[in-house]
Structure 1
Amino acid sequence: MEKETFDYSKVPHNFGLCAAADCSHADTCLRRIAYSHVPANITFLPTLNPKTIEAMAGKCEYYRSNKKVNYAKGFVCTTEALAVSVSGTFRYGLIGRWGIRKYYQKRKGETLLSPAEQQEVIALAKKLGLQKGEYFDSYVEEYNW
């Protein structure tokens, strides 16, 4: 894990933890790292069944890398740069994928955009004729919970 201190308060409430200490991927698995940082005042945990992990024989499908990912935060700059004639197509195209509430949360930067979602925004903007150097308002590095 990186040198920074792990902040358990950022672990999503329903994120499954892993108690398998003998796993060969324990040092880099976000689920195991989060488990090792659980505060003593938390009594009940969402934990993966150790028997399920054991049955996978080292090829865990629940492994989650502790490498941080670049998430985009907002794309107001893109919506403002679109021609008025295609702005509705852009907006409704993304609302169709994410729903209206998520669209506006992602547009304003209240909800981060994963790399896959960033590609959706860029692809749709390019399809509608927008060529920009940067399509997002800012970026943050976060764990891929």
Structure 2
Amino acid sequence: MKELVLFKEKAIKGYTVCTSEQCPIKDKCLRWKVGQQMPDNIRFYSCVNPHYQDVGTKQCPSFRKSEKVKFAKGMTNIFTDDMPQRVVTYVRQYLISAYCRTYYFEYRNGQRLIPPAIQKEIRTVFRDAGWNEEVFFDGYVEDYEW
């Protein structure tokens, strides 16, 4: 029930939905599920173009998995005292150049959740810099990848 309320809230706030009835993966798609909660008093809303190439197929570029994933929240303690300064500098510069200074600090301070793909990339950057120890984020939150 809580999910349906959340989906309805997202639909009202302008989340792009999908209405492709013949889609083979619609039951696993977040856009479809949110679209099913669109209230009948909303006159206009943002919708995936059903005529766009690959929409309504198993390769749909607009597909969003309707399962929650584990987001990292914050990375204020990601650099440890025993970490060489060259690793710290390399990782920080890489992340700022890849995601911009604003996003870096929002990720760092926990203001912006870090999706699984970016968590993986951050761990890879540490490995590339020569750090083979575990990388720890401040905490974790489960949510949908909207």
TM-score (norm 2): 0.78
Tell me the CA shift for residue 71 of structure 1: 1.2
Question: Residue 45 of structure 1: SS of its match in structure 2?
Answer: coil
RMSD (CA atoms): 2.8
Where does residue 74 of structure 1 map in the other structure? 74
Classify 1:23/1:104 alpha carbon distance in 2 versus 1 (closer, same or farther; 3 Å).
Answer: same
Q: Where does residue 59 of structure 1 map in the other structure?
A: 58
Deviations 1:125-145 (A, max 9, x none): 233344444521111111122
Instruction: Tell me if structure 2 keeps the 8 A contact 1:122–1:135.
Output: no
User: Which stretch has the larger CA shift, 80-89 or 110-119?
Assistant: 80-89
The amino acid across from 1:128 in the alignment is A
Deviating more after overlay: 26-35 vs 44-53: 44-53
Residue 16 (structure 1) shift: 2.3
Residue 29 of structure 2 is matched in structure 1 by 29
Alignment length (residue pairs)? 142
Q: Helix, strand or coil: the match of 1:71?
A: strand
Do the aligned partners of residues 71 and 10 (structure 1) sit closer, same or farther apart at CA in structure 2, a change above 3 Å counting?
A: farther
Q: Which amino acid aligns with 1:46?
A: S
Cα offset, 1:64, TM superposition: 2.1
Mark the runs of 5 or more structure 2 residues left unpaired by the alignment.
none
Unaligned runs of 5+ in 1: none
Superposed displacement of residue 85, structure 1? 4.5
Q: How big is each residue's C-alpha offset from its partner over 1:52-98, in whole Å with a ceiling of 9 and x where there is no partner?
A: 37x75643513222111111111111134443454222211110100
- Read off the aligned partner of 1:43 and give its amino acid letter: R
SS of the residue corresponding to residue 26 of structure 2 reads coil
1:102 matched residue in structure 2: 103
CA distance in 1, matches of 2:74, 2:106: 8
The alignment's TM-score, normalised by the length of structure 1, stands at 0.78
Match of 1:5 in 2: 3
1:126-137 alignment, distance < 5 Å: 126-137=127-138
